[in-house]
Structure 1
């Protein structure tokens, strides 16, 4: 149920994605499967998730390959776990530690639900390659001795606590990516590395920002009415009509003088419908600082 009308679930179930389905008001909605980044943004969550824009940068930082073994500290709601699972593939392994019981159970549930949904419409099942461990990483030194890690990702309040425990298991030259909310935490992390002479070199500290843009058909608003700018061509053009019906809430309204100023130009016509392009009024705010640490071999060893 929405402002565009009602679309019963039984009209959706069993249909193939990529088609339009009519609502009770005659509006048409495009049916498609959610992508992984959409799923993690909408799935049930306890703690704040690592956002997809940051996760993609973290995966590039760690240079994950299929078959790698990756340690995640801080399962949270399972967002990072899902992306790591896809990155390492069926032959890889993700070990995810979480100290809180409620977060641990939620991460497992979200991971299980995604795998179950993936089986619908895919020939191969999503790999079952994540080991969720309910344990404080500071007490897991014995567990780490038997593991060789290709990369580590830390999403926890005080990551400096975990570094002395996990760094012996990280391969030489491997990357530890740290997800922190504020720059004070980053300073505390680097100070701990310096003070305790941990074998990590800080290569990068970044924020990931996306600038969203709006590019939509315009409407002309005069003193009598507000109507779509139409020509004979776009009235008869079905694809344009579909676009107008689907994205009606995104249309930009221009006054007549604004329209004339913006689109009269030198008389050259590029489109039968005027478009407005501008940065979206909704922009993604700061989410985290991403710190890339590289393990090195000390000169005296």
Structure 2
């Protein structure tokens, strides 16, 4: 019998190393006869665990990955703990640890895969549900003529951390699209229908302000080819030229279309703007930016933006046929060498009107003045100016814990007890007016130099 079961013979030999094991030799021989039958039957009689429980998943994984046991492992699993030798106990413990480790890894992997699938299926629902909960807008809070954000409008999304702008983006509302940022996602469908100037929460719970893009925002964030005329310079040029509704204005150097838009709004539906650009790519970009703004503005206002700008791809120095029979109330030049074009355009400018020139370098200003001197043109240089814009940071002084600092009035005549009582009157709420000190300093990010503006006025001999 022991010849047919060498593993049993080795187990019996191990057990005989101690006197206490000699009494159980007969038991080992009897168990060896039926070990194969009993082990096979035990494998198929495991009670099924409760379905849906964590234990059921673990045992199912164990059953799927269970390997065939050797005769030594089968016999040792049937014997009591005190009968086994240290070598057999070590072997059985090692096998149990391997099985538990495999089952634990498989169970963790199965749970992670199930969670991943669930997250992928519920992604859109999760993003939509985590969007900002905007308080209900009562009908009495809606002002007369107020309109809500619509698809197709240009919108500005902005996130400020304390007093610093961390994120700002201009985009067009489109159905099914989403606003993506480092602070989370907002669906365009959740933005449409909201009032302008609202705050919406991203998928990460960060509040971002949503508002309509103004003309200033648009010219700063629109797609551009060459450098634009910045709003501060365009506003000063409009003041120099004294542009009013119904005027006819000539512009040379359409660029990206920024100055064309400002002139279009200034002259209104009764006026007109003739804009010339020598480069074809800049000419196309100016037209696209102009039409895009008109479309967004009409969706907001419910009426069309005046189609009063006439774009031409031409050189002003050789554009006499385009100017023939026209007269202009003002001229805006954004050119590298404007002194070469002045003899062509000045005959079409009303006497006493202004030609405003936009120049990037002071050397260009010198060339312009030298050209006026050599040609003796009937214009007077009234002003050469640079328009700096200096931003400032002004904010209440805060302590490290976020509380407001409070002003401490000098009280040399009071005793220490009265002073402590006065300092402790602040309960952490909003301090009274005039009691909080402010910190004011220039903004670290300045626009610096943009251009020189030259004001030329035509006179009659």
* CA–CA separation in structure 2 for the residues paired with 1:289 and 1:211: 16
- Cα separation, partners in 2 of 1:271 and 1:229, compared to 1, 3 Å: farther
How much has 1:2 moved relative to structure 2? 3.2
Secondary structure of residue in 2 paired with 1:84:
helix
User: Match for 2:443 among 280, 286, 289?
Assistant: 280
Q: Which residue of 1 aligns with 2:203?
A: 24
Q: Which residue of 2 aligns with 1:239?
A: none
Q: Deviations over 1:149-199 (max 9, x none)?
A: 100000011111110111100011110000001111111101111110111
* CA–CA separation in structure 2 for the residues paired with 1:188 and 1:152: 19
- 1:229 paired to 2:392: no
* CA–CA separation in structure 2 for the residues paired with 1:295 and 1:219: 56
TM-score, length of structure 1 as denominator length: 0.82
TM-score, length of structure 2 as denominator length: 0.55
* CA–CA separation in structure 2 for the residues paired with 1:95 and 1:170: 13
- 1:198 paired to 2:198: no
Does the CA contact (< 8 Å) of 1:229 and 1:273 recur in 2?
no
* CA–CA separation in structure 1 for the residues paired with 2:358 and 2:308: 22
Secondary structure of residue in 1 paired with 2:299:
coil
* CA–CA separation in structure 1 for the residues paired with 2:188 and 2:436: 35
- 1:130 paired to 2:319: no
Q: Which residue of 1 aligns with 2:348?
A: 169
* CA–CA separation in structure 1 for the residues paired with 2:339 and 2:307: 30
Count of residue correspondences: 263
How much has 1:106 moved relative to structure 2? 0.2
- 1:216 paired to 2:390: no
Structure 1 runs not aligned, ≥5 long: 222-226, 231-258
Structure 2 runs not aligned, ≥5 long: 1-179, 411-422, 424-430
Which structure features the higher share of helix residues? 2
- 1:95 paired to 2:274: yes
How much has 1:265 moved relative to structure 2? 4.6
Bigger drift between 183-192 and 99-108 goes to: 183-192
Instruction: Give the alignment's Cα RMSD to 1 decimal.
Output: 1.9
Which structure features the higher share of strand residues? 1
Bigger drift between 136-145 and 61-70 goes to: 136-145
Q: Which residue of 2 aligns with 1:247?
A: none
Larger Rg: 2
Q: Which residue of 2 aligns with 1:74?
A: 253
* CA–CA separation in structure 1 for the residues paired with 2:450 and 2:322: 32
Q: Which residue of 2 aligns with 1:42?
A: 221
Q: Deviations over 1:44-81 (max 9, x none)?
A: 01101111000000000000010000000000000000
User: Match for 2:294 among 87, 100, 115?
Assistant: 115
- 1:157 paired to 2:336: yes
* CA–CA separation in structure 1 for the residues paired with 2:213 and 2:395: 23
Secondary structure of residue in 2 paired with 1:118:
helix
